């Protein structure tokens, strides 16, 4: 909680003076009477100066204007109660409070589609997590750059070109639907037929030699793919700052390899280049036939990004099954002295069907994202047939996003549209409905928002619970950004939506005879709208206006 960061700094200083350097972590209290808890002293209860430390802590906490009441228990748990009055009438700037003084430039590498293939369910988590982490880091004041990093080079493309030649298809007439069929067929033929394999391999060589007629075909395939990708991404409300891909760095690889060779960082081993870094398994930099690997391209991409962007950190939001790849990439960046930038693999688990198997279509293919979107849209129509097209689209995206993000990213989960479109439970529909209700309430009232303050002497428990809910925002934001885990914010959005609904259902607000009570509730509702809309923005959701 950044409003309390002064307090935290002072407490940390007290510990440092006693040679106990550690970060004080402010946790959400589990006790009903308190809002936050600090457990740092518990493990020091036998420290010789614990009395003195506790006294200094008490003094500092006493002086903190946002704390109304606190206790330090026998076991040295510290419980804090926030001054609700001060908090609620002083919390207009909650978006400002999360700004990081140390603004960084962060590249988010996510999406990662391969040309020739449509976006499918396997891309959903990367897209959702990537967009949300982008929003979260931006809200903290960082410079963010999203890069879709397309798989647009190498063997799979050579196979497609080979297949088109082999079947005498007119590439000028090939459309995205054809391409989506050609991709799996060409890769099956590659495995089954040696002649075709040789053809594809020689096309791949020509591609790497930039032979004009092959490049022309490659360009055509890439254009068709990107058109279709952009269309789908637009419907799903995704946008990328950079549309670079593997093909953009291919030309940098020979120079990179030469330099690594010169610096004795790699050696030849049966025709393949292997890193001299001692590691198990050995890190392969090129294949034995001299062709490049996934790792080779990612290394060159790093060099290219350093050259182009000057960044502090790159987050790779990619399936957890690629763990080894990223470990090898990060070790190599370090060993090859590419720079002091930070790199992190933001891994995630699999989406399964209701039987717990990887999500597929009835024919056994991976399900296309656009089809999943259509299914969600049909479900939404069942809830309310009268919704306009735009609202239906926003809600369908909410369904595809919220249930995905509320799951801890490392956990595999079952995709269940029945459950995800329910108006009850931890769903995107539920949180959308709560904010629509709040907006309607404000619209039907004649309240003037700017002048009013909450009169704390007239609030009831349901108001208090919601206000206390607001106080947790910074804490959850902190967890989300520090661990790259949007689920804290999704959970939190559900929590305050739930608290709002309790308040809303508790008394009739608009017809309330008591003007103070009515105003209080309307102002708190307005706060709720602001928190809810901001949280949605952080999760990559767009609030609807009606439902």
List contacts with ligand ARG (CB under 6 A).
109, 112, 114, 149, 151, 298, 316, 318
**Pick 149 or 437: Cβ nearer ligand ARG:** 149
State the residue number with the nearest CB to ligand ARG: 112
Q: Is 524 exposed, middle or buried (0-12, 13-18, 19+ CB in 10 A)?
A: buried
Bridge partners of 36, per DSSP, are 28, 80
**Pick 298 or 485: Cβ nearer ligand ARG:** 298
Is the separation of the CB atoms in 316 and 346 below 8 Å? yes
What's the min distance (Å) between Cβ of 388 and ligand ARG?
A: 36
What's the min distance (Å) between Cβ of 333 and ligand ARG?
A: 12
Tokens of 110: 């996510």
What's the min distance (Å) between Cβ of 284 and ligand ARG?
A: 16
Bridge partners of 37, per DSSP, are 27, 79
SS3 content of the chain, % helix, strand, coil (to 5): 55, 10, 35
**Pick 119 or 536: Cβ nearer ligand ARG:** 119
Instruction: Give which of 218, 3, 227, 222 is closest to 93, Cα–Cα.
Output: 3
What's the min distance (Å) between Cβ of 343 and ligand ARG?
A: 10
Is the separation of the CB atoms in 108 and 147 below 8 Å? yes
What's the min distance (Å) between Cβ of 316 and ligand ARG?
A: 6
Q: Euclidean distance between the first and final Cα of the chain, in Å?
A: 34
Is the separation of the CB atoms in 144 and 117 below 8 Å? no
Bridge partners of 306, per DSSP, are none
**Pick 149 or 367: Cβ nearer ligand ARG:** 149
DSSP per-residue letters across 26-94: EEE-SSTT-SEEE-TTGGGTT-TTHHHHHHHHHHHHHH-TTEEEEEE-TT--EEEEE-HHHHHTT-TTT
**Pick 57 or 110: Cβ nearer ligand ARG:** 110
CA distance 217 to 221: 6
What's the min distance (Å) between Cβ of 99 and ligand ARG?
A: 29
**Pick 242 or 276: Cβ nearer ligand ARG:** 242
What's the min distance (Å) between Cβ of 298 and ligand ARG?
A: 5
Cβ atoms within 10 Å, residue 60? 18
**Pick 151 or 486: Cβ nearer ligand ARG:** 151
Is the separation of the CB atoms in 373 and 389 below 8 Å? no
CA distance 72 to 54: 8
CA distance 122 to 168: 32
What's the min distance (Å) between Cβ of 248 and ligand ARG?
A: 12
**Pick 64 or 109: Cβ nearer ligand ARG:** 109
What's the min distance (Å) between Cβ of 153 and ligand ARG?
A: 10
**Pick 152 or 474: Cβ nearer ligand ARG:** 152
């Amino acid at each position: 909680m950044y409003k309390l960061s002064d307090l935290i700094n002072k407490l940390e200083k007290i510990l440092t003076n006693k040679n106990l350097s550690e970060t004080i972590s402010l946790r959400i209290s589990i006790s009903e009477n308190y809002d936050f808890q600090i457990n740092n002293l518990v493990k020091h209860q036998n420290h010789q100066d614990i009395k003195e430390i506790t006294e200094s802590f008490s003094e500092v906490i006493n002086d903190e204007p946002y704390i109304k009441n606190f206790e330090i228990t026998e076991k040295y748990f510290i419980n804090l109660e926030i001054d609700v009055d001060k908090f609620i009438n002083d919390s207009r700037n909650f978006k400002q409070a999360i700004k990081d003084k140390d603004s960084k430039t962060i590249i988010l590498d996510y999406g990662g589609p391969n040309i020739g293939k449509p976006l499918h369910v396997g891309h959903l988590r990367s897209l959702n997590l990537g967009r949300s982490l982008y929003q979260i880091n931006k809200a903290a004041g960082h410079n963010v750059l999203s890069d879709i990093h397309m798989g647009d080079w190498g063997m799979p493309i050579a196979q497609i070109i080979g297949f088109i030649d082999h079947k005498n298809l007119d590439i000028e007439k090939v459309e995205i639907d054809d391409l989506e069929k050609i991709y799996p067929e060409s890769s099956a033929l590659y495995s089954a037929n040696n002649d075709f394999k040789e053809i594809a391999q020689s096309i791949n060589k020509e591609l790497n030699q930039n032979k004009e007629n092959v490049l022309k075909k490659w360009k055509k395939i890439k254009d068709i793919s990107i058109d279709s990708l952009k269309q789908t991404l637009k419907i799903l409300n995704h946008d990328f700052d950079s549309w670079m891909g593997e093909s953009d760095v291919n030309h940098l690889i020979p120079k990179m390899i030469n330099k690594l060779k010169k610096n004795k960082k790699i050696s030849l081993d049966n025709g393949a280049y292997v890193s001299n870094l001692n590691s198990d398994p050995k890190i392969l930099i090129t294949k034995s036939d001299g062709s490049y690997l996934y790792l080779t391209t990612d290394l060159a991409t790093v060099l290219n990004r350093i050259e182009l962007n000057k960044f502090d950190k790159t987050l790779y939001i990619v399936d957890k099954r690629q763990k080894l790849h990223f470990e090898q990439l990060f070790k190599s960046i370090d060993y090859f002295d590419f720079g002091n930038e930070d790199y992190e693999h933001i891994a995630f688990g699999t989406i399964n069907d209701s039987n717990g198997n990887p999500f597929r279509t009835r024919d056994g293919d991976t399900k296309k994202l656009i089809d999943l979107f259509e299914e969600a849209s049909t479900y939404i129509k069942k809830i309310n047939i009268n919704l306009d097209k735009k609202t239906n689209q926003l809600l369908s995206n909410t369904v595809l996003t919220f249930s995905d993000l509320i799951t801890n990213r490392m956990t595999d989960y079952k995709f269940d549209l029945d459950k995800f479109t329910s108006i009850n439970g931890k769903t995107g529909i539920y949180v959308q409905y709560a904010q629509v209700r709040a907006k309607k309430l404000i619209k039907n009232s004649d309240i003037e928002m700017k002048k009013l303050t909450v009169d704390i002497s007239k609030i009831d428990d349901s108001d208090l619970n919601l206000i206390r809910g607001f106080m947790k925002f910074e804490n959850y934001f902190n967890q989300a950004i520090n661990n790259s885990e949007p689920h804290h914010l999704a959970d939190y959005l559900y929590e305050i939506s739930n608290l709002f609904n309790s308040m809303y259902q508790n008394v009739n607000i608009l017809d309330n005879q008591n003007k103070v009570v009515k105003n209080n509730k309307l102002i708190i509702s307005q706060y709720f709208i602001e928190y809810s809309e901001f949280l949605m923005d952080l999760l990559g959701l767009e609030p609807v206006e009606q439902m």
